[in-house]
Chains A and B, each alone.
Chain A
């Protein structure tokens, strides 16, 4: 029963969505399934929050390595949740002045807005910016011209790296118009539009065929691995 019900939900929802694409008469049914999915997706946030709390609390209680980070995660999560849901420090909405809690949770002056602007934005930006340092280190250690394929990869990387900056213009801008196709910035565009597109299209078509096959297996109830091993 535990596996049968989810399987039938998936089969019915899947077929409804499939049919609604081809038959206009079933369009509203597809819309209803879509709405149900949106509600389930919103509920999944609660599930996600519960899972986050469970995993981190277990880590803290077992005193696993790095349990301090788990504690910080939970503290930050709780603070954000409380100030966001409680709309702490949120000024009253000018549109609905008579209604309590009508202001936006992230309005200027609110604690949630403060957390967003002064904690979340700098932290996520910093995390992303750190990539430049690790990519540079990896380029030095791992990008080796070991064989023909690696040499081709390196040459392409050089053209794209230079072509995507002003260096490309400086280095090859002197080429006459009849040879403008050899300018680094043009070569870079050519690589992206021709070689990259061809390779990516092949991958996309391959993925689409794979997705179709897997979807059919799920819709027909042959593939049940998406439900997990279960108990």
Chain B
């Protein structure tokens, strides 16, 4: 079994008696890219703030790299990088100087580390431009550069693509994929832009009203979001009769006079089309319709 990087046990945070994070048990194993999904105000950022020690839990426990006690947890936090919400830097300092401040603060001996992280996030050409003149995309990338400074084993990114334009999103996704692939970094990424998250995450957790409703792997998600095969024919009710009689299955729905939806045969849909053609029906098209992560997320929330 792979080592757990983060484990929370019955973690809660109450503000004014109201649970913003409610008894969350979450485990992230080494090498995973954990997509943390939730609506605004669901409790994502509060949980991440507790993990990064910015907010004190009301109850429950946090374990980082198997840390057995508070002192070990404190030490373990230096093996972690984080970007919580909007990146924050000293506005009048350059990217280089801002990172130099944190390099000195963290006692990283290699001055070349700054060049390495700036190169990693494609931010080497900002020169003497102060931080307050950066575009949002540049700010986000500088935030990521700080988060990966010192080669952390675990990276926490809270809404890293918020406000980025499509090009910025693609660039950010590529950087994250590269970090995971080449640096073997375990990532926890929270976002409500699920289409982007779906392209990087290997495991997901859905949080709603402070409660972790569901955790699932990418392959489990693929199973859950398989959707159906839509077959357009000249007579859908007759097609349904043929499938039921000859294949002995009820895993379909006659959706309209000309469309039948199959919830099986994903591996080889040609079995159906051949059968229908053999029985004299005309098949206009056959294609797989997937359920999006958004739809799945909404279905989980509604079920809760």
A and B are interacting partners: no
